[in-house]
């Protein structure tokens, strides 16, 4: 089995971070810089010209006079946590190869309550997903589904436990990876493939009616899709330039669709190493983080800036599920 590690990801080191953001004030000033650079939009009238009210630490729309705080309509919308907490979390998310738990971040921050730190991380993972939603995959694309271990949903706990892929402890994930043959090189199994970007989307079932529109929304029409011959994919030929389904023996799947299964393997490894008993409704956020880092594995120190830009661009809409 090939294991892919994001070895090229070298974010800002800890000493540089502490030097640049030594206190709450420095984080607040920098966050305002990011907001001003990206532009502040009035949620009431859509105007993009504002005054900065220093005494109130808020923006005032030049057109309608409505005000919004520095945190409003960003990932920090409604949060009372210090700016530095957010900066530390963004630094850790963009400088570590794998991930880390909310319990570990809570311990490092010395914060009394677990839930606000857990929510902070999920808000960041949510905007990672929003950022990746902006882009479509293109070229030759490998496609398959993965099955990830999650908690049994509450409404299924009293039912007999199913086995295999239909188990209540398995969540279905549609996985797509750009996979281009490397010209001028051959191996025993044929031409090696170079991976581009990937997408992982949690799905409720494997029906064609579920999968086809998701592929259509995330893949360009000029693409070519390689997959197995599952009936779930029968309509893909209608939405892309070419669909090349084939019967793939189980022992050959990693050779025919290598990057999809490398991605699945590494995502599972990350989740198992750090998290326990993931609820199905939060799995997508964890996969958002994995894909976001994978797709930006060559960004290096710029990854911190990219996530900061996303943080001021998107208003968080994360809601914790009850039950």
Domain boundaries, the chain: 12-73, 140-155+164-182+189-281
CATH number for the region 140-155+164-182+189-281 comes to 3.30.420.10
Distances (CA, A) of 127 to 112, 131, 152, 277, 291: 25, 6, 26, 23, 12
Q: What's the pLDDT at 5?
A: 40
Q: What's the pLDDT at 169?
A: 77
Q: What's the pLDDT at 1?
A: 33
Helix 283-295 with 258-274: angle, nearest 10 deg: 120
Q: What's the pLDDT at 10?
A: 53
Q: What's the pLDDT at 162?
A: 61
Q: What's the pLDDT at 181?
A: 82
Q: What's the pLDDT at 8?
A: 45
Pick out the chain residues at pLDDT < 50: 1-9, 323
User: Burial of 98 by CB count in 10 Å (0-12 exposed, 13-18 middle, 19+ buried)?
Assistant: middle
Cβ atoms of 142 and 176 within 8 Å: the answer is yes
Q: What's the pLDDT at 185?
A: 60
Q: What's the pLDDT at 190?
A: 59
Q: Which H helix or E strand runs over 141?
A: strand 140-149
- Residues sharing a CB contact under 8 Å with residue 306, sequence separation 6 or more, in sequence order: 94, 131, 296, 299
Cα four-point dihedral sign 271, 285, 233, 194: negative
């Amino acid at each position: 089995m090939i294991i892919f590690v994001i070895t090229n990801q070298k974010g800002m080191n800890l000493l540089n971070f502490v030097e640049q953001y030594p206190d709450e004030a420095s984080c607040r000033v920098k966050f305002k810089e990011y907001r001003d650079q990206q532009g502040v939009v009035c949620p009431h009238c859509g105007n993009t010209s504002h005054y900065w009210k220093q005494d109130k630490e808020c923006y005032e729309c030049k057109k309608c006079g409505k005000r919004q705080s520095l945190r409003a309509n960003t990932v920090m919308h409604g949060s009372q946590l210090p700016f530095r907490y957010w900066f530390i979390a963004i630094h850790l998310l963009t400088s570590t190869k794998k991930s880390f738990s909310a319990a570990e971040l809570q311990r490092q921050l010395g914060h009394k309550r677990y839930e606000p730190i857990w929510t902070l991380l999920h808000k960041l993972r949510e905007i990672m997903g929003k950022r990746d939603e902006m882009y479509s995959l293109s070229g030759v694309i490998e496609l398959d589904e993965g099955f990830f271990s999650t908690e049994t949903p509450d409404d299924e706990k009293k039912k007999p436990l199913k086995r295999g892929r239909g188990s209540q402890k398995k969540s279905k994930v549609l996985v797509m990876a750009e996979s281009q043959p490397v010209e001028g090189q051959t191996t025993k199994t044929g031409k090696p493939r170079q991976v581009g970007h990937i997408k992982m989307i949690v799905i409720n079932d494997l029906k064609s009616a579920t999968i086809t529109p998701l592929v259509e929304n995330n893949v360009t029409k000029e693409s070519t899709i390689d997959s197995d011959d599952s009936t779930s994919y029968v309509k893909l030929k209608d939405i892309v330039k070419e669909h090349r389904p084939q019967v793939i023996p189980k022992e050959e799947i990693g050779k025919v669709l290598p990057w999809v299964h490398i991605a699945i393997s590494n995502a599972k490894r990350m989740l198992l190493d750090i998290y326990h008993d993931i609820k199905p409704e939060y799995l997508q956020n964890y996969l958002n983080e994995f894909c976001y880092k994978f797709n930006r594995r060559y960004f290096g120190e710029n990854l911190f800036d990219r996530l900061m830009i996303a943080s001021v661009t998107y208003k968080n809409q994360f809601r914790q599920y009850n039950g």
